[in-house]
Structure 1
Amino acid sequence: MNDMEKMGIPQKEELSNNSSFIDHKAEVVSNNDLESFSSGKDASVNVDAPVGPKEVVTLPFKQLMLVFVGLCLGVFLSSLDQTIVSVCTKEIANQFNSMKEIPWIGTAYLLTSTAFQPLYGRFSDIFGRKPTFLFAIGIFLVGSALCGAAQSMVMLIVARGIAGVGAGGIFSSVMIILTDIISLRDRGRYQGIIGAVFGVSSVVGPLLGGVFTDHASWRWAFYINLPIGAITLVAVIKLLHLPHVGGSMKEKLLRIDFLGSLTLIVGLVMILLPLNWGGSTYAWNDPLIIGLFCGGFAILGLFCLVEWKQAVEPIIPFHLFKDRTNNAVFVCSLFIGCGMFGMMFFIPIYFQVVKGESATAAGLETIPLIVGLLLSSISSGIMVAKWGQIRPFIWIGLALSTVGCGLLGLLKESSSRGATIGILFVPGLGIGMCMQTIMLAIQSSVGPADIAVATAVATFFRTVGSVLGVAICGTVFNNKLKDSLAGLIAQNPSIVAVISNSDLAGQWGPEIKQQILDSYMDALHLAFLINVPFMAVALLASLFIRHIKLRKAGPAPPPME
């Protein structure tokens, strides 16, 4: 008997077979179904047997709706925070006289939210869905309050890092909780609404940020989170009732993979830093960038060794990667994140720099994309619930996204309003149709004990993809812009300033300004088109997702009416 057995801590084999103490009621799955499902032997099997949760927690319709509104507010909260702050950075820099430190506001948030995101899946198994979600919201609100009250740039950066720790778990926790209260077949329509909320907040964020900065204070960009978060906390605490996870706090703490958590966080931070700095703050061949990459990959290698050989309850279980569908979903999530965020990052730049519109107006110009996302996200969720099919919506969505990224390359300075509306609408349709159905694919592919972890890992891959997409597109954009401006800079070296500040384009006269705008347009074309192969790879990977016909099984919540 080893030391851990003497302490009464379940061993890895026991934990994998004993899911009764995990905060998750599951739909009944026969052993044969699970074996064939995890082995991936039959690629075309029509799985009519229910997979995923053995039994969902049925809530009365009114209570379900109130809980769901609270979960939607949680998603709105975290996604709003990602966009609202970007509009306020100039005012913040002016107040603290710290323009050089401005990038760290976003970097601190990005590092902590991404690094801590995979941990929430396992934590929700150990401590329960509800406590984990409340913890994420609570940490996020503490960080937001500290951001609003910041008296220096250092305090603001630290507070953004704290907020990021909570934000990393909000979206994953919402997706995990939905698996406990909504049957797999009905989950599509609810997750479609979640996707729509995500899209709406992407537009509302810059608009609210502009209003607060112009008419109140940038601090309200952070304080606005407090009342929304309070409503979310009340709704979840009062109305969401899920099975309690057994065991004392000491037993739960002993189940945490501390070494795995530490190596994962440190390794990810060391890789995310050069991805954020490379091509802008430092050259890609700078020794610091190369050193961070090498060190980060080495520590992630140590993390893999810990998860493989030592961890009793791994943060990212390796057996997830033995299933073809799981691997396909992870690859899809990664490249959807690359293409979606790489595209969405540069669309406002097109309207602000090339079209000469304000930040608020640029936010309004993206409404066609969000409308497309809303329509397809909600409608695909309803159709999935009706027909029980997942793959057709993933394929159609990724095909539209690939075509849509290509259409963005047709944008010109002279493009009419009608042309821009039509071009933006297509990728919106595609993203809305595939983003949530991909999540359904992973949730229907794994067993009950792995749903929380698999959901968190899929979300994590999409987040990492977003970082990679923005970094790659940013590098391509900057390099193309420098090449396009090389002739003008050779004639007048002072023109190099427009690379970092496009507002200066007009000071050399209308003819030079037009050439500068043409150079920006050339760079934007390439930044848009680089997302086409990202989406194409996601589409190719989605072909390896097995056919799964979802079927309502066991008690399920009332239909949305």
Structure 2
Amino acid sequence: MVTSADENTPLIVSGSRNYLSTNEDHEDATRHLLEADTDDDSISALQKDDPTCQLDLVKVPSISTGFAIDPGLERVSSAATVHVSEENIESQDGAPSRSMFANHFINVTPTKFAWIFGGIQIGYFIGFFDATFMASSHPVITSEFHASNSASWLTTAFLLTSTALLPLSGRISDTIGRKPVYIFSIVVFFITTAWCGLAQSIGSFILARAFCGLGAGGVFSMGMIISSDTVRLEYRGIYQSIINMTLGVGGALGYAGGGFLCDHLGWRGAFYIQLPFIFAYLLIAIWTTPDDLGRIDPKDETRSLRQLLKRIDLTGSFLLTVGLTALLVGLNLGGNVFSWSHPLVVFSLVLAAVMAVVIPIYESKVDRPVLPIRLLTKAPHAYIIFSNFFGGLAINSIMFNVPLFFQAVKSESATDSGLHLLWASFGITFTSVANGFLITYFNSLKPFALLGATLMFLGGFTTTALTFVDLPYAITIAFLALASVGQGFVFPTYTVSILAVNKQEDQASSVTTLSLWRNLGYVMGTSVSSLVLQNALRIRLYQVVTEPNKQRIIEIARKSVEDIVTLDPMHRGQVIQAYNTSLRITFLSATIWGSIMLLLTIMVKLPRLRRNEKELEEEETD
């Protein structure tokens, strides 16, 4: 069989009972597998002819493709990921096995995997419920603290810590093993969720959300990594669809259930009710997660824990966190709490500008950067990564502010405002699950990325339309769902795309970088949309609110959404008009980010997939 591949195309392994890897980081894995059987070596290569390179997804050795996996450390053998027995290999070649699913997994039984994967799903469900819970509940929480103009920090603090520390969890778990990092993340998530419910000031609550993001980020990333460690690549799409469904359902119930819980249990009770489920999740994780998963090979005496820790780009992570924090502080305080000329605002923005120069210079010089600059400077990688960034920016500009629109402009309860997003979230669930099957069936990526980007772009316009005219309920839901449906198509497609355009040894770093930039988009979407909203609202309130008590009315409108209904009819109408105009501008900003995403998606060239062994056999006969 003739093999060929260019330098940008990964060699994908095939064969009946052998697995060969071109990745030097997987030498140990290759040696163990070759010792199991060396009868029928064959390597299939990805044929790339612009714009449709072919990617085999048949009988590939499992590689870690979780969104927070170490992009630089050598992959370390573990009992759960490498030492595949002769019996397991035979089972995967079609020999009789105890379960039709046995060949899906790496050195774990179907029953063991069911417990592991079930625990991961609980974590994803609770984590996404908690993350989206803020969208419908933040007006209630900030109104109690009289800090509605600080609402963005409730979400921004959570996303900032989970994003900035995202690349580290995988690297640390490669050093000390998956289980310690996984359990630590769940414990942090449990403690900080309780802290949120106990917070007595807006400052304490924001700090609790920041640490909660640290725990939730570890839960998300380690769940994906452990799934990748235990499921073979050719079957991973099936389980990724299950994960997508869990994320969608958890997110949907967070949007809708958050408001409901706030109305009936109070926002503190909405946090307390999560604690028993998180504790049960902790017990399942302790019981089911293999102790040696991802652990350093004890036989390798050349690499100590200290040596491996030195290879983690802690400095890069620190610089990234400082830069992001400075930028968000400047954007959230400027024109909102302080004037743009305030020393703290100026200092924050200047520091962010300095970090924007320092970070690329530093990251280009380290061996294993937390932010690989090379991926941001070549096609199609740059198109894929920046499309995800602007997509995250667009979708959070809409989803974060829609509940505020219904509560401030339509005077609806937190429950009713969250229900508007429920159907949109189910749209994400349906399309993200269906998308995986559609990609597999049509063996194509570009059409689904283009469809998703187009829907997200149009979703900005349809959401803006709600600020112009009252529409029937069904049409309102359809307009809100458009961007969410697009999100379900485009983000999963791009995750597969970044794998398809990279060598095998670059896949972990590329997926990590993609997820990092997508999360940065989410962070900036919340922060920038809040910047637009608060500045537009401040200006508009001074334009439309009249005496008497003009200043007091403006302060009430900006600091407590719930108190708007207590105003006299004249001032209430003026405040609602100001909110409506400001939110219209905010939703229109989402169309700008969506248009950039759509343009990048039109320009990108994505590979075409090949998925069956018949085509491989035909190649071998040529």
Q: Give TM-score scaled by structure 2 length.
A: 0.74
Residue 175 of structure 1, CA deviation? 3.5
Question: Residues 223 and 295 from structure 1, CA distance in 2 versus in 1: closer, same or farther, beyond 3 angstroms?
Answer: same
1:496 equivalenced with 2:554 (yes/no) = yes
In the TM superposition, what are the counterparts of 1:55-454 in structure 2 within 5 Å?
55=62, 58-59=104-105, 60-84=109-133, 106=155, 108-148=157-197, 156-184=205-233, 186-205=235-254, 207-210=256-259, 212-213=261-262, 215-216=264-265, 218-240=267-289, 242=293, 244-246=295-297, 247-309=303-365, 311-411=366-466, 412=468, 414-454=470-510
Query: Does the residue aligned with 2:424 lie in a helix, a strand or coil?
Result: helix
Question: Residue type of the partner of 2:349?
Answer: F
| Superimposed CA distance per residue, residues 478-527 of structure 1 (whole angstroms, 9 cap, x where no aligned partner) | 34444544443356534434344455556665455445433432322222
Q: Which sits farther off after the overlay, 344-353 or 246-255?
A: 246-255
Q: Give TM-score scaled by structure 1 length.
A: 0.81
Query: Does the residue aligned with 1:44 lie in a helix, a strand or coil?
Result: coil
Q: Root-mean-square deviation (CA), in Å?
A: 3.8
Q: Gaps spanning 5+ residues in structure 1: where?
A: 1-15, 554-561
Tell me the equivalent position of 1:559.
Answer: none
| Superimposed CA distance per residue, residues 18-63 of structure 1 (whole angstroms, 9 cap, x where no aligned partner) | 344699x99x996975xx98xxxx5413223459964366424444
Question: Residues 504 and 138 from structure 1, CA distance in 2 versus in 1: closer, same or farther, beyond 3 angstroms?
Answer: closer
Within the candidate set 583, 586, 599, 1:540 is matched to 599
Question: Residue type of the partner of 1:467?
Answer: V
Say whether the 8 Å CA contact 2:258–2:418 is kept in structure 1: no
Question: Residues 107 and 44 from structure 1, CA distance in 2 versus in 1: closer, same or farther, beyond 3 angstroms?
Answer: closer
Residue 534 of structure 1, CA deviation? 1.2
Query: Does the residue aligned with 2:465 lie in a helix, a strand or coil?
Result: coil
Say whether the 8 Å CA contact 1:52–1:447 is kept in structure 2: no
Q: How many residues align?
A: 530
Question: Residues 392 and 179 from structure 1, CA distance in 2 versus in 1: closer, same or farther, beyond 3 angstroms?
Answer: farther
| Superimposed CA distance per residue, residues 210-230 of structure 1 (whole angstroms, 9 cap, x where no aligned partner) | 555555564444444443334
Residue 358 of structure 1, CA deviation? 0.3
The whole-number CA distance in structure 2 between the counterparts of 1:518 and 1:151 is: 32
Residue 348 of structure 1, CA deviation? 0.9
Within the candidate set 585, 606, 611, 1:526 is matched to 585
Say whether the 8 Å CA contact 1:150–1:156 is kept in structure 2: yes
The whole-number CA distance in structure 2 between the counterparts of 1:308 and 1:165 is: 26
Question: Residue type of the partner of 1:81?
Answer: D
Larger Rg: 2
Query: Does the residue aligned with 2:54 lie in a helix, a strand or coil?
Result: coil
The whole-number CA distance in structure 2 between the counterparts of 1:153 and 1:483 is: 25
| Superimposed CA distance per residue, residues 323-370 of structure 1 (whole angstroms, 9 cap, x where no aligned partner) | 423212210111111111100012112211222110011111222212
Say whether the 8 Å CA contact 2:156–2:526 is kept in structure 1: no
Residue 429 of structure 1, CA deviation? 1.6
Query: Does the residue aligned with 1:452 lie in a helix, a strand or coil?
Result: helix
Tell me the equivalent position of 2:55.
Answer: 48
Question: Residue type of the partner of 2:492?
Answer: Q
The whole-number CA distance in structure 1 between the counterparts of 2:406 and 2:235 is: 39
Query: Does the residue aligned with 1:386 lie in a helix, a strand or coil?
Result: helix
The whole-number CA distance in structure 2 between the counterparts of 1:263 and 1:356 is: 43
Aligned-pair identity in percent equals 29
Q: Which sits farther off after the overlay, 420-429 or 508-517?
A: 508-517
The whole-number CA distance in structure 1 between the counterparts of 2:154 and 2:457 is: 32
Residue 376 of structure 1, CA deviation? 1.0
* Structure number with higher helix proportion: 1
Q: Which sits farther off after the overlay, 206-215 or 411-420?
A: 206-215
Say whether the 8 Å CA contact 2:156–2:527 is kept in structure 1: no
Say whether the 8 Å CA contact 2:143–2:560 is kept in structure 1: no
The whole-number CA distance in structure 2 between the counterparts of 1:371 and 1:107 is: 24
In the TM superposition, what are the counterparts of 1:469-488 in structure 2 within 5 Å?
469-488=525-544
Say whether the 8 Å CA contact 1:330–1:458 is kept in structure 2: yes
Q: Which sits farther off after the overlay, 412-421 or 329-338?
A: 412-421
The whole-number CA distance in structure 2 between the counterparts of 1:480 and 1:148 is: 32
The whole-number CA distance in structure 1 between the counterparts of 2:433 and 2:426 is: 11
The whole-number CA distance in structure 2 between the counterparts of 1:169 and 1:285 is: 38
| Superimposed CA distance per residue, residues 303-340 of structure 1 (whole angstroms, 9 cap, x where no aligned partner) | 3333322x343222333335423212210111111111
Residue 533 of structure 1, CA deviation? 2.2
Question: Residue type of the partner of 1:388?
Answer: N
Q: Which sits farther off after the overlay, 325-334 or 220-229?
A: 220-229
